[in-house]
Amino acid sequence: MKAIGIVGSPRKGGNTEILTSHTLKAITGEGLDTELIRLAGLDIRPCDACRICREGGSCPIDDDLFPIYTKMKEAEAIILATPVYFGSATAQLKALMDRTGYMSYDVRPFAGKVGGPLVVARRAGQNFTFAQLMYWFHILGFFMPGSTYWNIAFGRQPGEVGEDEEGLRTAWNFGKNIAFLVKRLKT
Ligand SMILES: Cc1cc2nc3c(=O)[nH]c(=O)nc-3n(C[C@H](O)[C@H](O)[C@H](O)COP(=O)(O)O)c2cc1C
């Protein structure tokens, strides 16, 4: 049983990565395998609406998305994590969401999997972005466990999220609930 955390920040080692690692650590502690996947430095292009994926073909865009999509289909749980950029998810994560969402919309490989969002920002936009990501999980048939607050945290410079005690605790409890639900669904 495996959970993957996809980090949509272009900044390696930043707050989103720290928060995602923290959640994955909670999941590892419950006996699941975990992997953190950074979009930083990868070539993930936006959907160009060719619709080939909806007509039985695979996405013709030749970039770094396909190996990640394969890992997403193999995992039991998926976390999508992003910093807030102008009130929204990063363009990198949105490109991944649009393309994996469209590719999987008819074939439903994510239906019955477990997942949810993690969001970090300096000051504002976490709740909107949290909802933005939840739309993706909901329409694709994921089961989304809750936590002890919405999965949001505060931080600006890399590492600052480590000072947001409630944000860390919420992310940790979210990880515990992900592991609980995966185990309930699989055993
Ligand atoms: C282009 C850009 C846009 C941003 N927009 C917002 C925003 O709308 N609200 C906010 O609170 N912080 C905003 N921030 C700050 C980041 O969300 C914050 O620094 C976050 O911790 C970055 O996460 P990371 O370290 O994982 O990259 C923005 C940062 C950048 C680079």
From the CB of 172, is ligand 1 less than 6 Å away? Answer: no
Nearest CA to ligand 1 atom 21: 156
Q: What is the pLDDT of residue 104?
A: 96
**Rounded mean pLDDT for each run of 10 residues along the chain, 187 residues in total:** 98 98 98 98 98 95 98 98 98 98 97 98 98 98 98 98 98 98 95
Using an 8 Å Cβ cutoff, are 82 and 89 in contact? yes
Beta strands in the chain (DSSP E): 2-7, 33-38, 77-83, 114-121, 152-154
| Ligand 1 center–CA 46 separation, angstroms | 21
- The pLDDT, as a whole number, for residue 187 is 83
Alpha-carbon distances of 157 from 52, 122, 165, 171, rounded to whole Å: 41, 8, 16, 19
Whether the Cβ atoms of residue 34 and residue 2 lie closer than 8 Å to each other: yes
Minimum-distance ligand 1 atom for the alpha carbon of 160:
21
